[in-house]
Structure 1
Amino acid sequence: MTDQRQRFALIGTGNRGTTMWGQNLLEGWRDSVELVAICDTNELRAERARTMIGSNAPIFTDIGMTLNQTKPDLVIVCTRDSNHDDIIVAALEAGCDVITEKPMTTSVDKIRRIREAEKRSGKRVDVSFNYRFAPTAYKLKELLASGAIGTLTSVDFHWYLDTNHGADYFRRWHAYVENSGSLFVHKATHHFDLLNWYIDADPQTVSAFGELRNYGAKGPYRGTRCKGCEHASYCDFYLDLSADPFLETLYEDPSDLDGYVRDACVYREDIDIPDTMTANIRYTNDVVVSYSLNTYMPIEGHHIAFNGTKGRIELRQFEKQPWERPNHDEILVVKSFGGGVERIKVPHSAGGHFGGDDRMRNMIFRGGEDKLGQRAGSRAGAMSVLTGIAALQSARSGTTVRINELGDIG
């Protein structure tokens, strides 16, 4: 019997690559995939990741050698956002399909490179927008598609990152626009993609504000990294890597090879991304959005409300907070003209992103009908990145930015 499993190469062995697309993928989808190569510029990190994944796949430090020697069917990209394009293009031109972690990339030119290579090669790029696959997101999309509140006119969308999750972006490579495009691109790509998917239209104009209010140069003191820092005993953001065996194993000794430490000071003066962000977005179908992202909250989760000509849909999704929460989300569908309220309880599912990770991997590797268009390709990846690029440009310039004036994306 012929082995029909997809032979894949994992490029990048940070947290997401090692877990979501390494260990977890092999544990749950070994009947569909075979890991044939692991590639990372840091060989020791790749070796540590390979042990965690439970694989004997060969390790490479160069994408060209990975592709030439192992000839995978599929490449999964989990590197820094700013070099996704080089890896995706190389993989496409080698005849591979690609799954890339979000965001797809960080600039208009890089979007164009990817889109053109995809068209030339005839291969496929999937973007890992797992939030689309969460049960509650599916239900919201279903309600909107059914016309439950008439014509959609506006959306309020506010995302809260707590002082653990939010601060972590400022410890890592994400803290520089050069690497991540800012959190308007890296983190908000999830949120902008959800909006684009929910609204079922393209963003047209963006007007945004973004400030650095809590991290970076705003800090009261600073060091190089948490380990050995003189401020460790009283810094609210002190991270003890030795208390987390996973992080210490994957990052501490490997940092001797490339200098990348996992506990860099959140108050480094050269941090250049905003930590407090808002944006107003207008869509081609005249829906308008009010969006915000905050990165140092005492809570984690989001609030979203859809306003229509016949009612309103509301959701407050809790992820972390200092009080008990039920093991489900509650969507409120409030009808106008005395129509009352319907309370829809959506149970949480096991796995990352309330079950979204598993559902996405099932769709990609096992197929099935995609009734609501959850599977996201390069165009969806491009549109979410363009929204983030426009937001950062608007915040820096103080002007409204038109998406179609940013450049051709192919």
Structure 2
Amino acid sequence: MARKRYVICGVSTRANGMFIKPMLETFGQHCEIVGLLDADPGRFANCFKKFPSLAGTPVYAPDQFERMIQETKPDAVIVAGVDYTHAEYIVKGLEHGLDVISEKPMVTSGADCKRVLDAQERSSGKLYVAFNYRYSPIHTRIKELILEGRVGRITSVDLNWYLDTYHGASYFKRWNRRRGSSGGLSVHKSTHHFDLVQWWIGQKPVEAFAYGALNYFGPEGELNPAKEDGRYCGTCKVKPSCAYYMRWSTRSKEIVPEDDHVTNIDVKSGGFTGYRADACIFDAEIDIEDTYAAVVKYEQGAMLSYSVNFSLPYEGYRLAINGTKGRIETMEVMSKRTSHAVPEQTIELFPLFGAKETIRVVPKPGGHGGGDPLLLEDLFLGPDPLRAYDIMAGAEAGALAVLTGEAVWKSVQSNKPIRLADLLEPAEAEERGKAHV
């Protein structure tokens, strides 16, 4: 059987680790990388250094997409660059009738959601959005319990997500800190969470209301050691006075936690052209929030109470799903970067009338709670024939998650509830202040 041919748009750290490495090492009999596209030649060099077998693979600049398709004749496109670039490559790939795999978030705005949805409707190709959290064994078991009717009709969900001072701060060192590049963290990060909820309960979100703030980072952050823009951790003179830096370092050495999955390759200068991933978390250019509290309404009447905080002592989440027949509860401490013992994650099932049931789930190896390898198998081998329910996210699911995230931050700005359908209405393209990264 001929191998499926892939081109990759955005040779990012995520592309290297999530896609290129397993494509070469695990799925080499099923797929072949025939082209790479990126704005930065340094990323090609970094990729070839990491994966010598790819040396000689044709490389292309962003304005050479059509040439890449003509010369490499791929079957599919993988989109894994900076978030604001996703829409262009997704739409072009679908217009060529190709399958497209997109990292989350699918895009960063309602206007781009509309472009992608329209392109998907016209295309013979299929868009897949890489929502790996769906595939974690704990999360699939929760989905199964709901499908089995164990909690009845879903009425409300409580989800509180916590990012620790290492992972949370990392977003404010990188390009994510600019809304024009990422859509803000209610889009870049929270789409993971909004997608999980809509997939679990089988209901589409229709409206959101939210509050948000920049509490920890930016120049007014209470732990900012000096109000001075343009600093980088690698060369900063005041970092011994920065609590966020010193939490993970000594005066002579920066310490990278063993379970780190957010540190960029060659974080300091020289790794990439004109971009560093160790910018100061207290810079004035930061224009996104680090704290949200939101309420989301769904089409069949369910309600979500959601919060996320990007600067907490540990990482994890608390979840409760309430229904007409009972309640599901679970709590996970995700990271080993804690100073306290981490309990085993279980699912607690409380029937409306009856005794509590504790459900233990066999863990799977791999990133994102064991979800990454299972997602990759579905992408490169096809859906698991033994799975009795749909799990892969497509264009509609990707759009709903983005629209929820955009509704959240627009509600923060306007102090009004935002209907998701209104975000799909035609509008003039906004100046998005895209950073070169």
Q: Give TM class, smaller chain.
A: over 0.9
One of 318, 327, 330 as aligned partner of 1:303: 318
Q: Which runs of 5+ in 2 are unaligned?
A: 427-437
Q: Which runs of 5+ in 1 are unaligned?
A: none
Whether the 8 Å contact between 2:156 and 2:302 is mirrored in structure 1 is: yes
Deviation at 1:32, TM superposition (A): 1.3
One of 334, 348, 354 as aligned partner of 1:332: 348
Q: Which residue of 2 aligns with 1:387?
A: 404
Q: Which residue of 1 aligns with 2:76?
A: 74
CA distance in 1, matches of 2:71, 2:143: 43
Aligned AA for 1:59?
V
Whether the 8 Å contact between 1:153 and 1:286 is mirrored in structure 2 is: yes
Q: Which residue of 1 aligns with 2:32?
A: 34
CA distance in 2, matches of 1:28, 1:250: 27
> Any idea what the Cα deviations from partners look like across 1:152-184, whole Å, max 9, x if unmatched?
111100110111111111111111111111111
CA distance in 2, matches of 1:243, 1:149: 45
Whether the 8 Å contact between 2:327 and 2:349 is mirrored in structure 1 is: yes
Whether the 8 Å contact between 1:42 and 1:254 is mirrored in structure 2 is: no
Aligned AA for 2:242?
C
CA distance in 2, matches of 1:160, 1:248: 25
Q: Which residue of 1 aligns with 2:377?
A: 362
Whether the 8 Å contact between 2:113 and 2:424 is mirrored in structure 1 is: no
Give SS of 1:123's match: coil
Is 1:169 matched with 2:189? no
Give SS of 2:150's match: coil
CA distance in 1, matches of 2:347, 2:240: 43
Aligned AA for 1:348?
P
Deviation at 1:310, TM superposition (A): 2.1
Q: Which residue of 2 aligns with 1:9?
A: 7
CA distance in 2, matches of 1:365, 1:107: 28
Alignment identity in percent?
36
Whether the 8 Å contact between 1:158 and 1:293 is mirrored in structure 2 is: yes
CA distance in 2, matches of 1:29, 1:348: 22
Q: Which residue of 1 aligns with 2:47?
A: 49
CA distance in 2, matches of 1:388, 1:402: 12
Give SS of 1:185's match: helix
CA distance in 2, matches of 1:237, 1:68: 48
Is 1:406 matched with 2:423? yes
CA distance in 1, matches of 2:406, 2:189: 12
Whether the 8 Å contact between 2:217 and 2:282 is mirrored in structure 1 is: yes
One of 344, 347, 359 as aligned partner of 2:362: 347
Deviation at 1:347, TM superposition (A): 2.6
Distance 1:52 1:243, change over 3 A: farther
Q: TM-score, normalised by structure 1?
A: 0.93
Whether the 8 Å contact between 2:268 and 2:278 is mirrored in structure 1 is: no
Deviation at 1:10, TM superposition (A): 1.5
- Ranges of 4+ aligned residues in structure 1 off by more than 4 Å: 239-246
CA distance in 2, matches of 1:297, 1:275: 11
Whether the 8 Å contact between 2:265 and 2:271 is mirrored in structure 1 is: no
CA distance in 2, matches of 1:404, 1:287: 17
CA distance in 1, matches of 2:39, 2:123: 26
One of 343, 365, 374 as aligned partner of 2:391: 374
Deviation at 1:251, TM superposition (A): 6.3
> Any idea what the Cα deviations from partners look like across 1:340-390, whole Å, max 9, x if unmatched?
111111132111112111111111221233522110100000000010111
Aligned AA for 1:383?
L
Is 1:205 matched with 2:207? yes
Whether the 8 Å contact between 1:166 and 1:295 is mirrored in structure 2 is: yes
- Equivalences, count: 403
